[in-house]
Amino acid sequence: MDINFDAVYYEPQALNYELGAFLQKKYAALPWLEIKSHNLIPELSGSDNLQFPHLKRHLIVGVRKTHKYVENNKVSDWLVPYTSSGCRAMCLYCYLVCNYNKCAYLRLFVNREQMMDRLLKKSNAASNPQTFEIGSNSDLVLENIVTGNLPWTIERYAREGKGFITFPTKFAMVKPLLGLAHGGKTIFRMSFNPTEIIRRVEIGTSPLDARISALNDMAQAGYRVGLLIAPIILLPGWQQLYAELIEELADKLDEKVKNHGFIEIILMTYSFVQNAINTEAFPHAVQLFDRDLMTGRGRGKYCYRADVRVAAEAFLRQKLTQQLGSMKILYIS
Ligand code: SF4
């Protein structure tokens, strides 16, 4: 599998890196347009919201300059800026749109050695084993189709790192990861939603069945694994949709996942920016903003009201306890 892009925007210095040269060769048939900075491409950031799907077809290649780790307290201890930000898929709720607005296209950073060296140094300097989230800014399984970065990352971390790296995904292309010497130091997390939501909202991601098989394969390959049911979207009939999803997971997940995996649950937050882009770029798409159930959360963001969240949480806990009782629910947020 490969991804079809229609143009590459690139910082010239990126071509001095091995990965930059590799991409230049791989996508030689595409127009390559020089830019000063991956953060500032006026001809793209100035586009109309309507252009959002078109912008997602571009690939941006640059050098990551900021490497600030942010403390975290969920699955990981640290959020790490890594080899990409943005994504080719178009989930209607993608929080990267809050950060990058319509410029949530896939940006690749070619200075992976520098980022890995920093990660290894930080992991080895810690007195207790730390967990580093390397996939909070993009989807690394999708990125791997373009760069092949994941096998390199997983094996190098296994050899030289302490603690764990982790990343979530909505994609099923895990074959290149199955035979790796991961040393038990990678925690793989697959994200799930009911088929109807994947189809109507998570545009361009892998189907449910393929995600279940990919998670099972990763568990069989000895990886530590978890599943995210995220984001929970309270569309009309949500109870039935999520009850059926949980039943299907209970039915099809490998015993290794059920016996050793964990569960994260995140309810959707949505933003004014996303609503504006979706309304213009996907006029026939399902409406995610629900004024009866949602409330403002500051800075143009909306979340489900506290009483709605409490009811949804109780429902999900009950279903999960019934169907996947051996899996620990790490948090519901
Ligand atoms: S797969 Fe993840 S990163 Fe990509 S659009 Fe969907 S939510 Fe955003």
The pLDDT value recorded for residue 102 is 86
Question: Residue 141: inside a domain, yes or no?
Answer: yes
How many A from CA of 94 to the centre of ligand 1? 5
Q: Is the distance from the beta carbon of residue 143 to the nearest atom of ligand 1 less than 6 Å?
A: no
The pLDDT value recorded for residue 1 is 74
The pLDDT value recorded for residue 98 is 79
Buried residues in 245-268 as b, exposed as e (16+ CB within 10 A): bbebbbeebbebbbebbbbbbbbb
- The number of distinct structural domains making up the chain is 1
Question: Residue 296: inside a domain, yes or no?
Answer: yes
> pLDDT tens digit string along 101-143?
888 999 999 999 999 999 999 999 999 999 999 999 999 999 9
Q: For residue 126, what is the domain's CATH number?
A: 3.80.30.30
Residue nearest to atom 8 of ligand 1 (CA): 94
Question: By residue range, what is the domain housing residue 177?
Answer: 7-332
> pLDDT tens digit string along 147-198?
999 999 999 999 999 999 999 999 999 999 999 999 999 999 999 999 999 9
Question: Residue 145: inside a domain, yes or no?
Answer: yes
Q: Is the distance from the beta carbon of residue 92 to the nearest atom of ligand 1 less than 6 Å?
A: no
CA distance 115 to 171: 24
- CA–CA distance from 103 to each of 51, 257, 285, 315 (Å)? 10, 36, 20, 36
Q: Is the distance from the beta carbon of residue 77 to the nearest atom of ligand 1 less than 6 Å?
A: no
Mean pLDDT, rounded, for 191-220: 98
Virtual CA dihedral for 150, 154, 155, 159, nearest 10 degrees? 150
- CA–CA distance from 262 to each of 4, 226, 317 (Å)? 35, 5, 13
Question: Residue 131: inside a domain, yes or no?
Answer: yes
Mean pLDDT of the chain: 96
The pLDDT value recorded for residue 192 is 98
Residue nearest to atom 2 of ligand 1 (CA): 139
Question: Residue 1: inside a domain, yes or no?
Answer: no
Ligand 1 atom at shortest distance from the alpha carbon of 205: 1
pTM over the 0.85 mark:
yes
Q: Is the distance from the beta carbon of residue 139 to the nearest atom of ligand 1 less than 6 Å?
A: yes
Q: Is the distance from the beta carbon of residue 205 to the nearest atom of ligand 1 less than 6 Å?
A: yes
The pLDDT value recorded for residue 2 is 82
Question: Residue 2: inside a domain, yes or no?
Answer: no
